With several copies, the nearest count.
Chain A
Amino acid sequence: MLLHEYQSKELFRQYGIKVPLFKVVSDHAEVESAWTSLNSSKVVIKAQAHTGGRGKAGGIQMSGSVQEAREISKKLLGSRLITYQSGKDGKPISKLIFEVPAQIQKELYFACMVNRQTYGYSLIASTEGGVDIEEVSRKSPEKIKIENISGLCEFNDFRFRRLAKGLGLSTELQKQFVQVAKGVLKMFTGLDCSLIEINPLVVTEGGELVALDAKVSVDDRALWRHSAIAEMRDKLQEDPLELQANEAGLNYVSLDGNIGCMVNGAGLAMATMDIIKYYGGNPANFLDVGGGANKDQIVTAFKLLMANKSVRAILINIFGGILKCDVLAEGIVQAAKEVEIKIPIVVRLEGTNVQRGREILGSSTLKFVTASSMAEAAKKVVEVAR
């Protein structure tokens, strides 16, 4: 779960990481008081939307007067921000940050994430902050410093110092960097984060290390133990279909094609997309109904597929394990009662309780094409979708 910049910065403050003075504005009526309380001749206004590339897309603007701030806010609040990362529909802007601009001496990059190989954490830092870090990684990998932190040890000041020294920071800034790194790791482990990225982490003219931007992502699987964080979810930022899938415990990603897929298991779902392409078709989505789907979830899954108007045929590819074929079949029959299905369905069932599953489908009034192998199923669905 991604957090907004303002939410991340509020958490940063709690963990002792310095951020610029800012106010959150959700309504035009708040512009005046936010401006006044910041007591600054210039104010940066930043659209709060879950996407990168906000600056180039007009989502970050400088205002030199309260009038200007009013105009910018009027334009941004309630609109959608479309950037090169946001997708074609963009993301809604329901909140703004009003922030005192930092006097920037230098821009750094700093991030923390889990390291799969060491079973610990990786801290990543670079002297090239404020730019696309993937670009830096490709063009000048030597400018990226990585420090691996054990999953057990809490004493890592020497590692943080090494990282800071690798960035060429002064002794005084090294000390501040150690505090930032400590705060970030404490927040990462304390809140079950999956990513904390500060880009840029700036050295101000006054010699302070300040987090100017913040991208924080929290492990969805751990939200049950962080109710305050869970409440920060801004559902408006998410794709409505994906959100609906998510709430039903399904894993759904919209794609561009015309063949709706319903598969159990992420691996088989990906392989199903691959084989559809292999036979010249185009999947309309990735949909993993998961290991333990129940009837209701299958019904929801079916509705999700049907909600996509581009879909011209459906491929159901199920290899039952935890998900039993009979449960799936009942779900499909139930869904067919609730949703009108006019397009062809190709079904390939195998695995746990497959006989009962086939019987249930066979004795229903539902029309579908059966296939006994994945290849046959893919070929057939590509054919009927043409």
Chain B
Amino acid sequence: MSILVDKNTRVVVQGITGSAGSFHAKQMLEYGTKVVAGVTPGKGGQRFEDRVPVYDSVEEAVKNEGADASVLFVPPALCADSICEACDAGIKLAVCITEGIPILDELKFRNYIGNKMRLIGPNCPGIITAGETKLGIMPGYIHKKGRVGVISRSGTLTYEAVWQLSNVGLGQTTCIGIGGDPIIGLKYIDLLELFRSDIETEAVVLIGEIGGQDEEMAAAFIKESKYPKPVITFIGGQTAPKGKRMGHAGAIIEGGKGTAQGKIQALEDAGVTVCKSPADIGETAAKILR
């Protein structure tokens, strides 16, 4: 089993004719993802790799190919529009890879989609159900069908964790990079909730980093809901210089939260196993699951 996506997920790639879009659409096809359509306005009628039909709009991709999920490789300036388009077309899950979207655009599409569509990202590697389907840019071969769910704000650090899980023989169920931007779609809590009822997922690896309060909220959720599966975490940025980017007022609103120390404290209070080194994630999970 898995969460959110599996081998039956029918994927449309928005921005398929761009360079990142076409490279990763090919990679997804190779991995086995059902890429049923591409969308680039003005390029409808083409075929990508001689097989995937390209449309001018997501609406047409949904109508003609039954797409139910979308991966977006769309330039930052056009992303908000494309996400709203996916939502209106009836896409159930959108994965936005794009980095560099203006934050006010993020606010706007986040408010627009509300609960109508699930969004992963933006500025994320995507989601993969090992051995079944990938919607994103993660290298497929590092994943191995297995027993652990992975949730991470980071991109490459997720690969690191996944690679370790594969090397210790545990493998993964579904891995999700939720994205590094301040405004994102699904958060730790939403995904922990989904992993709770996925019987194949025996443990969850949660990769966090400094900034924001999402890890603290996840800790509170784990504690209050008496989360039934072991959670293993690593928090990046323990040695990062403080305040390089944070204005004064930002520190106020987060009231001293947002530091690696605070997050680690909160997670340990919730009974979560916190790895000291990012190289210990796989081993730690292996020890816990025997």
Are B248 and A162 touching (Cβ within 8 A)?
no
User: In angstroms, how far is the closest chain B Cβ from the Cβ of A297?
Assistant: 14
Are A271 and B100 touching (Cβ within 8 A)?
no
- The reply to whether the CB of B210 lies closer than 8 angstroms to some CB of chain A is yes
In the bound complex, residues from chain A placing their C-beta under 8 Å from that of B256 are: 138
Q: Which of these, A115, A225, A350, contacts B159 with CB under 8 Å?
A: A350
Are B159 and A275 touching (Cβ within 8 A)?
no
The stretch that binds A, out of B3-11, B101-109, B193-201, B218-226, is: B101-109
Given contacts A116-B183, A267-B156, A322-B20, contact A171 B249 (CB under 8 A): no
Are B277 and A161 touching (Cβ within 8 A)?
no
User: In angstroms, how far is the closest chain A Cβ from the Cβ of B218?
Assistant: 13
In the bound complex, residues from chain B placing their C-beta under 8 Å from that of A319 are: 139, 156-157, 159-160, 163
- The reply to whether the CB of A122 lies closer than 8 angstroms to some CB of chain B is yes
Given contacts A162-B59, A270-B236, A271-B236, contact A132 B156 (CB under 8 A): no
- The reply to whether the CB of A74 lies closer than 8 angstroms to some CB of chain B is no
Are A270 and B108 touching (Cβ within 8 A)?
no
Q: How far is the CA of A122 from the CA of B250 in the complex (A)?
A: 10
Question: What total of chain A residues lie within 8 Å of the partner, measured CB to CB?
Answer: 82
Q: How far is the CA of A213 from the CA of B100 in the complex (A)?
A: 30
Q: Which of these, A113, A138, A374, contacts B278 with CB under 8 Å?
A: A374
Q: Which of these, A115, A134, A161, A221, contacts B248 with CB under 8 Å?
A: A134
A-contact bits for B186-227, CB 8 A (1 contact / 0 none): 000000000000000000000101101100000000000000
Are A275 and B278 touching (Cβ within 8 A)?
yes
Are A267 and B157 touching (Cβ within 8 A)?
yes
Are B237 and A321 touching (Cβ within 8 A)?
no
Specify the chain B residue showing the minimal Cβ separation from A217.
B247
A-contact bits for B251-268, CB 8 A (1 contact / 0 none): 111011000000000000
Are B236 and A124 touching (Cβ within 8 A)?
no
Are B279 and A275 touching (Cβ within 8 A)?
yes
In the bound complex, residues from chain A placing their C-beta under 8 Å from that of B139 are: 319-321, 350-352, 354
User: In angstroms, how far is the closest chain B Cβ from the Cβ of A357?
Assistant: 12
The stretch that binds B, out of A22-30, A147-155, A301-309, is: A147-155
- The reply to whether the CB of B85 lies closer than 8 angstroms to some CB of chain A is yes
User: In angstroms, how far is the closest chain B Cβ from the Cβ of A164?
Assistant: 10
Specify the chain A residue showing the minimal Cβ separation from B184.
A116
Q: Which of these, B82, B252, B277, contacts A375 with CB under 8 Å?
A: B277
Question: What total of chain B residues lie within 8 Å of the partner, measured CB to CB?
Answer: 77
- The reply to whether the CB of B149 lies closer than 8 angstroms to some CB of chain A is no
In the bound complex, residues from chain A placing their C-beta under 8 Å from that of B58 are: 158
Are B250 and A113 touching (Cβ within 8 A)?
yes
Are A161 and B154 touching (Cβ within 8 A)?
no
Q: Which of these, B84, B237, B252, contacts A270 with CB under 8 Å?
A: B237
Q: Which of these, A114, A144, A275, contacts B103 with CB under 8 Å?
A: A114
Q: How far is the CA of A38 from the CA of B280 in the complex (A)?
A: 65
- The reply to whether the CB of B112 lies closer than 8 angstroms to some CB of chain A is yes
Given contacts A119-B107, A275-B277, contact A133 B234 (CB under 8 A): no
Are A268 and B160 touching (Cβ within 8 A)?
yes
Q: How far is the CA of A268 from the CA of B142 in the complex (A)?
A: 16
- The reply to whether the CB of B56 lies closer than 8 angstroms to some CB of chain A is yes
Are A278 and B276 touching (Cβ within 8 A)?
yes
Q: How far is the CA of A292 from the CA of B78 in the complex (A)?
A: 18
User: In angstroms, how far is the closest chain A Cβ from the Cβ of B164?
Assistant: 8
Are B209 and A267 touching (Cβ within 8 A)?
yes
Q: How far is the CA of A264 from the CA of B157 in the complex (A)?
A: 9
Given contacts A158-B82, A161-B56, A351-B139, contact A375 B279 (CB under 8 A): yes
Q: List chain B positions with a Cβ less than 8 A from chain A.
A: 20, 24, 27, 41-42, 56-59, 76-78, 80-85, 88, 97, 99-105, 107-112, 125, 137-139, 142, 152-160, 163, 180, 182-183, 207, 209-210, 212-213, 234, 236-241, 244, 247-253, 255-256, 276-279
What 5 additional pairs, Cβ within 8 angstroms, besides A117-B213, A321-B125, A352-B27? Answer: A165-B56, A194-B247, A219-B102, A271-B157, A274-B237
Please name 12 pairs of A and B residues whose Cβ atoms are closer than 8 Å in the assembled complex, sorted by A: A111-B247, A111-B248, A113-B253, A116-B213, A119-B183, A155-B80, A157-B81, A165-B56, A197-B249, A221-B103, A222-B104, A352-B27
